[in-house]
Amino acid sequence: MVLNIAHRGGAGLAPENTLACFKQGILYSEMIEFDVQPTADHHLMVFHDRENIERTTDGHGRISKLSYKYLRSLDAGSWFNSQFQGEKIPSLSEVLTFLPSSMLINLELKYYDSDSDWFEQSIMKTIHHHDIDHRIVVSARYPENITRLQHLDSSLDYTLLQKERDKDKYFKMLVELGLHTAQIRQSALTHQFTEDCHANDIRVFYFYADEPTHMQKAINIGVDGILTNYPDRLRILLDEK
């Protein structure tokens, strides 16, 4: 089975990383992907952009420099469509409470503090509190995030995002970190890379495909999951099979 993974909740269907978006993603997907980063007062918020919040809210500034109270006062829905006016930036706990107990979770870390592991500790505490250890994969751009998390709990599923890494270097990093999930981009979308991963007990998620022809290509190559902004389109394609 190819997992239908709703990117940022299904960002083509509703304002990304909001409860309204997750409500749509739940209808079509088996796994919800979203981003987490901290506020200045150490609350964990579900939000994508790291440099500023202007693109998807009516506020200003960088989320890690802003307070929870300020961020919760913002409109995170109107930019997408007026029908979503008043939609809020949700906290991580709010999202984990909202998602059904059957939903798989792909949580991407959007923050790294070179001097402290307080962020990773907070993430782990929240995961354990909500008892979602068995249905979550935690993804990160930086291997240092993953190393810290593995030290806190080696039993969870982690993945290093390929990002701009060469596919051969990336594969080597996956093996060295002992990971069992890869999240690849176009440069690694090959039969050989997928076969190498499967031979090493590593499942392959592809980021990302929004058009049916692109989705079909990834399916034919043998990926285990596809991240998409349109999980409704992927649902139709998978149901046809």
User: pLDDT tens-digit profile of 48-83?
Assistant: 999 999 999 999 999 999 999 999 999 999 999 999
For residue 25, the SS3 value is helix
Q: What share of the chain is helix, strand, coil (3-state, %, to 5)?
A: 40, 20, 40
Domain coverage including residue 115: 3-240
> Over the Cα atoms of the chain, what is R_g?
17
Q: Which of 89, 138, 151 is nearest to 111 (CA)?
A: 138
Identify whether the C-beta of residue 9 lies closer than 8 Å to the C-beta of residue 21: yes
DSSP single-letter state for residue 161: B
Is pTM beyond 0.85? Reply is yes
Query: Can you tell me the distance from the alpha carbon of 112 to that of 46, in angstroms, rounded to the nearest whole number?
Result: 15
Q: Which helix (H) or strand (E) segment is 26 a member of?
A: helix 19-28
CATH code of the domain containing 203: 3.20.20.190
Q: How many domains does the chain have?
A: 1
Nearest partner of 51 among 102, 139, 110, 117, judged by Cα: 110
Query: Regarding beta strands 44-46 and 31-38, do their DSSP bridges make them parallel or antiparallel, or are they unpaired?
Result: antiparallel
What are the pLDDT digits (tens) for 116-148? Answer: 999 999 999 999 999 999 999 999 999 999 999
Going by the DSSP 8-state scheme, the letter that residue 55 receives in this structure is T
Question: What whole-number percentage of the chain has pLDDT above 90?
Answer: 99
CB 209 within 8 A of CB 178: no
